[in-house]
Structure 1
Amino acid sequence: MLISAVELAGLQLPKLPNSRQGIEYHAKKNNWPFEEVVGQARGGKLKKYLVSALPSEIQAAIQEKQAATLLAKVPMLPAEVKKPLRQNKKMRQLGLIPCEEGLARLDDRQTETAHARCAIVAYVLPLHELAGMPIKKAVAFVAAEAAAGRLPEDVAKLIPLANARNNGERSLSEPTLYRWVRAYRAASDSMSRLLALAPVKTREKTPLLAIDWLPYFLMFYQRPNKPTMMAAAKKLAQWYLEQGKIEQMPSYDQIQTVMKRLPEHMKERGRRTGSAYKALLPYIDRDWTALKPNDVWVGDGHSFKAKIRHPMGYLFTPEVTMIVDGCSGAVVGWSVALSETAVAVADALRHGMTHFPPPLGYYSDNGSGETGDMLDKETTGILPRIGIEHFTGIPGNPQGRGKIERLWQTITIPLAKQYATYQGKDADAETLRKVSNALASAQKVQKKGKELSKAQEAALSAAPTWAQFIADLEEAVRRYNFEHEHRSLPKNPEAGRHFTPMKYYEYRMETDGMRVKTDVLSPLELDFMYRPEEERIPDRGAVSLHNNTYFHQGLLDYSGQKVRVAYDIHDADHVIVKDMQGKVICKAVFNGNKRAAFAETRMEQLAERRRKGQAKRLQDKMDLIEAQRQSAAPIIEQQPDFGEFLKLETESGGLVEVENRPSESGRGKKKLRDFLWEDAG
């Protein structure tokens, strides 16, 4: 038997060092013999020491430690495994086997055989009870009729089934029929008759608990690294060899046969852990309809299964946090962040409380984001401050929050599949590889500040922008709340169809109302709840965030200094700006410093004056035309275009339009330009 330094250190023997390096130094110092085997070590060679060549006290310590470990892992077996009671006629007639237990052991073939025997006996009894024939003569008569083939067809076809023979024998002997009749008459009720006439199996399978080698095999098979059945069988053979009990070792065929009988949850125990193993076990289906609206909100985070373009330009996988009402399943709030942090959860809660009254309790898992100080800490946490009880689930038990776990399959995963950057488990591996490589290449070039190729630009354009993703997610949540008819919800008595989550929320609010009437939080209370933040440097009273500009006069004193900008992904009209210590500076408004170039009222006055002037000039021309018609003066059908006369040639040879009107106070004769100005007026 060989043992490595790591294995020796893991045994924590009192006479040896407790580290691998210490064991190797001790072995080298005392010249322990070793062999080099292929393994995960430097140079691909692993040193293993020969146990039989080690000092006797170390050998004894190793054996004691291995024995203690083995006994701790072997499942406890009953002190004495009793063979199951074999059912026979006398035991059933004497009532030694409880009726319910006996019936539970019957398979379909035994039950069908018992029914056929009962039907044949029921054909015999009227001869005795109605015709007065002795019971033995009645049995002999029916047996003779069966041998002669004179029984009714419906009774005769039951004989092969009643005989319970593989050869389908159609004969019916008198002693056999008499035993059936006696057992039938001795039974007190119909269930007892069925049990009394059911055939007993001649060969019962050995109970699993009676298989001596099974617990030892499972010791090697039920491991998280999921060894194959053959690998575990080899380990078992080696263990029997070391114990000197090789004759008790089962064959591989025996192992396969027994493992087929073993239930799935027993085979996978130890091979699966946490929620993966609990998925094989029974569960409790919670009745959420017993709650009232806003009694409990349920929250959870989920990594979106597609790449998104961050507002800063790079690609990332956003973390979506959603809050649903426990009663109706309606999504009351949601948020998106780089990871499932407490800020993301708090922002989703704030979004929910913007439109709905605060709940009595909030139920979530116990991840770091969900149980952060800003949620629960008595002095600053938002939940205690608002009077909300925080319930956390059992670690590794997502089944307890199945109400929201199913939500991802309905909202976010279908949305992610609409994008070319989808990276779910069912995505095509080759397409995913190509898309991932193209995105990685584009990001690498982008970071270096180089120009993107057309292929790289196409790859980046396939990833949705932050604004597009937020808009799509908002629409997906709206469709779920108002259009998705949920099968777990009751049917609408008016429409005869299942309620949508938001419709059921409104219906329960009308019929039951809230347990404690509470108003929606005020804007001031919402402003002092946690929001996602980013650091920015104001410039002349304005800060830029996500390609938007926010202004406030109070930011002028912080020009060139870092500030924290708290924003709402659902409302870009304003942001809350704080200093780096968290003190609120102001509420900056989107484009708050944008003003009209001129006063709106003055521009409207000038426009109105121009409209009146145009109308007056048009009327003067109409009066002139009418006067010319009356005087029969010739009318010029087409006036020449004097536009070129209104341009002056510059020294460089270019033309500029004449903008200044000639002064009316000019002396002397009028020039052509003066007449043109008058006509243009």
Structure 2
Amino acid sequence: MANPAFKTSVIAVKDGNGLPVQIVADPLTAKDRAHQSAYKTVCQFVLEMEGKSQSIKINHFCQAFEANQIPGEITNSLLVLRGKKIHLCPNPATVYRWFEKLKKFNNGNPKALTKGYKGRQRKLYGWEHKAIELFNLPSTPGYADLAYWLRTDHGFECATKSRVTRYLKTMPETLGQKSPQRMGKTFYQHNLKPHKIRDNEVLPVGYGYEGDGHTVDAYVAHPSTGNLYRPELTVWIDVRSRMITGWYLSDSESAISTLFAISHALLSHDHVPAVLFLDNGSGFKARMMNDEVFGFFTRMSITPNWALPGNSKGKGLVEGFFKIYRNRLDKKYQTYCGDDMAPEINRRLPEMVKRGLRTLPTFADYKADIAKFIEDYNDEPKPVLKGKSPREIWEAGLNRVQIHIKADALIQPRVLRTVRKWRLQLHNRTYQAAELAQYNGREMLVEYSLHQDDEVRVLDDEERLVCIAQLVGKVARLPESRIQEAEQKRLKGQVKRLEAHAHEKRLRSAPVLSHEDSIEALNDTLGFDHPPVLEVEDFNPLDCLDLGDSKDEGDDDLDINDTFNL
């Protein structure tokens, strides 16, 4: 049976998030354990002395101490118990007290063999719980401000800055400076909370890709206007080998840019992965990519694995690559604009570019730098790969699953359309073929090009080619390229939003009240009575002036007493 004195004591207090804020596995400190061991050692030595009774054994112990016959191990234990009194022989009463403490210890009191003095106990003032509550606000208040709130808003005059500071610094980290409430649950989860560590070495090379889009942290010259421009980089990285298998540079994340990026990854190495690890971005979730019937993933037999919203660790490899990309490539440019760039430089960047103090890299040059950077990244040995480069792991372990689809056909999206009167309607365009007469009223897979709209490929539900339908009509002024059409649609949306913004600015600049309305509202606010308005017909201001006549010349002097009738 275990000694009850060694029973583990666990005290667990949970905060608002259910996190343990205090766990004490054992109430004893290292110093307390040293005292326990010393008491047991000395008492056991006394009990082994000659004599039938405890008092006789204690007397023999005192005689042995006076004769310097105590072993070195016992002397060390006495040094722990007696301290500076080690040279003095403990009297029998002291040894009796040691035995009483040992008895209490054996009866279940773990602190019976420790020093009784624990220091001055802290006084409770009543504001402790409120201080913890206020300190864990997301606004991250400081100690002095919190003490001020306790005194002014809650009536605790005793809540001085020093007392509040000392108390809050004794709190565990889950209620202190690094609590989830102060730091934010998302930041706390990503930076302090433990997460599952996945073993990527169990996956075959080429089995799964991680993909994501990232707005680059450097301004480049727009290929059309030459103005400041931050393109979107979409990257695919193999999970096992860390090989960058494909990338694409575009204006923004979209289904088209995602399609081009994954097509580049597949065509570059003639390999189809089994799984794609993705987030819930609009480009990946678009029907063109994710539809269960005609989506690109279904067409290529690829299983998408979606990360939880807000969980960047679900695709940590590609996120880590973007960090390396920013530090090694984007920061080389004078037009770097990351969050760690000096704010005043970012503010003055457009003006500095306009004055010629900074030069924007061209889109073509920046794209060439990306290609070279990715080549160097794939050839760089990495410690996580045991000194090998991603390309070496890729080439040595890839079990290639070939595409068996032409490059131009791979990049053609698919949609479902219903055949009516031998015709198909797609994107305000009409396509017709004689073979469609056999499929009137049925849904067919329509495969179209993003660059040309003169024809489409029509397939049945087993993805067999039925016919190639030709364009027979489209809405006037519709461009041939669907990419150009999408750009025009985006441009119209941008102009519409700018017009709405300008309209709001015009409304805000107009006065809400006229001058007369403002005076009337002011009088109503101050409680003034409106003066009566006198209506006088044929009013002549000269009638108010009594200029006199020539007969009154002798009385021209003004008498102020006459004016006031005094």
SS of residue paired to 2:26 = helix
1:527 aligned residue (408, 411, 428): 411
CA contact under 8 A between 2:221 and 2:227: conserved in structure 1? yes
The reply on whether 1:441 has 2:351 as its aligned counterpart is yes
For residues 397 and 360 of structure 1, the distance between their equivalents in structure 2, rounded to whole angstroms, comes to 22
Change (3 A) 1:146 1:327: farther
**Cα deviation, residue 483, structure 1:** 1.5
For residues 170 and 194 of structure 1, the distance between their equivalents in structure 2, rounded to whole angstroms, comes to 29
Determine the structure 1 residue equivalent to 2:165.
Answer: 256
Determine the structure 1 residue equivalent to 2:222.
Answer: 310
For residues 521 and 535 of structure 1, the distance between their equivalents in structure 2, rounded to whole angstroms, comes to 18
2:209 aligned residue (292, 297, 305): 297
Determine the structure 2 residue equivalent to 1:485.
Answer: 382
Determine the structure 2 residue equivalent to 1:156.
Answer: 75
SS of residue paired to 1:105 = coil
Identical amino acids, percent of aligned pairs: 22
Equivalence map 1:5-84=2 (5 Å): none
**Cα deviation, residue 99, structure 1:** 4.2
Determine the structure 2 residue equivalent to 1:409.
Answer: 323
**1:86-105 superposed Cα distances (whole Å, 9 cap, x missing partner):** xxxxxx99727624759633
**Cα deviation, residue 579, structure 1:** 10
CA contact under 8 A between 2:132 and 2:175: conserved in structure 1? no
Change (3 A) 1:194 1:233: closer
1:272 aligned residue (174, 183, 186): 183
**Normalized against structure 2, the TM-score is what?**
0.59
2:149 aligned residue (235, 242, 262): 235
For residues 96 and 211 of structure 2, the distance between their equivalents in structure 1, rounded to whole angstroms, comes to 70
**1:301-337 superposed Cα distances (whole Å, 9 cap, x missing partner):** 3332222233232222233222222233322222223
**Cα deviation, residue 523, structure 1:** 1.7
**Cα deviation, residue 259, structure 1:** 1.2
Determine the structure 1 residue equivalent to 2:7.
Answer: 98
**1:392-434 superposed Cα distances (whole Å, 9 cap, x missing partner):** 222222233323322223333221222222333444x3xx745
**Cα deviation, residue 195, structure 1:** 8.1
For residues 206 and 358 of structure 1, the distance between their equivalents in structure 2, rounded to whole angstroms, comes to 67
For residues 151 and 249 of structure 2, the distance between their equivalents in structure 1, rounded to whole angstroms, comes to 55
The reply on whether 1:564 has 2:476 as its aligned counterpart is no
Change (3 A) 1:324 1:579: closer
For residues 93 and 523 of structure 1, the distance between their equivalents in structure 2, rounded to whole angstroms, comes to 74
Equivalent AA in structure 1 for residue 337 of structure 2: Q
Change (3 A) 1:230 1:357: same
Determine the structure 2 residue equivalent to 1:363.
Answer: 277
CA contact under 8 A between 1:357 and 1:520: conserved in structure 2? no
Determine the structure 1 residue equivalent to 2:429.
Answer: none
**Cα deviation, residue 171, structure 1:** 4.9
CA contact under 8 A between 1:159 and 1:170: conserved in structure 2? no
Q: Name the larger-Rg structure.
A: 1
Equivalent AA in structure 2 for residue 277 of structure 1: Y
CA contact under 8 A between 1:442 and 1:457: conserved in structure 2? yes
CA contact under 8 A between 1:183 and 1:193: conserved in structure 2? no
For residues 109 and 392 of structure 2, the distance between their equivalents in structure 1, rounded to whole angstroms, comes to 56
CA contact under 8 A between 1:160 and 1:170: conserved in structure 2? no
For residues 32 and 345 of structure 2, the distance between their equivalents in structure 1, rounded to whole angstroms, comes to 60
CA contact under 8 A between 2:260 and 2:411: conserved in structure 1? no
2:364 aligned residue (456, 463, 467): 467
Equivalence map 1:80-229=2 (5 Å): 95=4, 98-99=7-8, 104-117=26-39, 120=42, 127-128=48-49, 137=56, 139-146=58-65, 151=70, 155-163=74-82, 171=88, 173=90, 174=92, 197=113, 199=115, 202=118, 213-229=127-143
The reply on whether 1:375 has 2:284 as its aligned counterpart is no
Equivalent AA in structure 2 for residue 226 of structure 1: T
For residues 45 and 361 of structure 2, the distance between their equivalents in structure 1, rounded to whole angstroms, comes to 80
CA contact under 8 A between 1:325 and 1:331: conserved in structure 2? yes
**1:514-543 superposed Cα distances (whole Å, 9 cap, x missing partner):** 8xx56475424433259xx9999xxxxxxx
Equivalent AA in structure 1 for residue 212 of structure 2: D
Change (3 A) 1:291 1:156: same
**1:187-222 superposed Cα distances (whole Å, 9 cap, x missing partner):** 99xxx9998755567369789xx9964443344333
Determine the structure 1 residue equivalent to 2:337.
Answer: 423
SS of residue paired to 1:412 = helix
For residues 291 and 261 of structure 1, the distance between their equivalents in structure 2, rounded to whole angstroms, comes to 46
For residues 384 and 211 of structure 1, the distance between their equivalents in structure 2, rounded to whole angstroms, comes to 66
For residues 270 and 41 of structure 2, the distance between their equivalents in structure 1, rounded to whole angstroms, comes to 68
SS of residue paired to 2:204 = coil
The reply on whether 1:339 has 2:255 as its aligned counterpart is no
SS of residue paired to 2:214 = strand
Change (3 A) 1:528 1:414: same
1:319 aligned residue (203, 228, 232): 232
**Cα deviation, residue 117, structure 1:** 4.5
For residues 301 and 502 of structure 1, the distance between their equivalents in structure 2, rounded to whole angstroms, comes to 22
CA contact under 8 A between 1:411 and 1:480: conserved in structure 2? no
The reply on whether 1:281 has 2:165 as its aligned counterpart is no
CA contact under 8 A between 2:5 and 2:110: conserved in structure 1? no
SS of residue paired to 1:468 = helix
CA contact under 8 A between 2:279 and 2:308: conserved in structure 1? yes
For residues 344 and 119 of structure 2, the distance between their equivalents in structure 1, rounded to whole angstroms, comes to 57
For residues 99 and 140 of structure 1, the distance between their equivalents in structure 2, rounded to whole angstroms, comes to 37
Equivalent AA in structure 1 for residue 371 of structure 2: E
CA contact under 8 A between 2:40 and 2:102: conserved in structure 1? yes
CA contact under 8 A between 2:216 and 2:231: conserved in structure 1? yes
Change (3 A) 1:316 1:106: farther
Determine the structure 2 residue equivalent to 1:14.
Answer: none
For residues 450 and 351 of structure 2, the distance between their equivalents in structure 1, rounded to whole angstroms, comes to 28
For residues 76 and 281 of structure 2, the distance between their equivalents in structure 1, rounded to whole angstroms, comes to 67
The reply on whether 1:394 has 2:308 as its aligned counterpart is yes
CA contact under 8 A between 2:105 and 2:113: conserved in structure 1? no
CA contact under 8 A between 1:309 and 1:315: conserved in structure 2? yes
Which piece of structure 1 moves more, 176-185 or 395-404?
176-185
**Cα deviation, residue 260, structure 1:** 0.8
For residues 332 and 136 of structure 1, the distance between their equivalents in structure 2, rounded to whole angstroms, comes to 86
Equivalent AA in structure 2 for residue 110 of structure 1: D
Determine the structure 1 residue equivalent to 2:516.
Answer: none
Q: Which runs of 5+ in 1 are unaligned?
A: 1-91, 445-455, 492-497, 537-557, 567-576, 583-681
Equivalent AA in structure 1 for residue 164 of structure 2: I
Equivalence map 1:443-458=2 (5 Å): 443-444=353-354, 456-457=355-356
For residues 352 and 302 of structure 1, the distance between their equivalents in structure 2, rounded to whole angstroms, comes to 17
For residues 443 and 234 of structure 1, the distance between their equivalents in structure 2, rounded to whole angstroms, comes to 48
1:349 aligned residue (235, 239, 262): 262
For residues 200 and 464 of structure 1, the distance between their equivalents in structure 2, rounded to whole angstroms, comes to 74
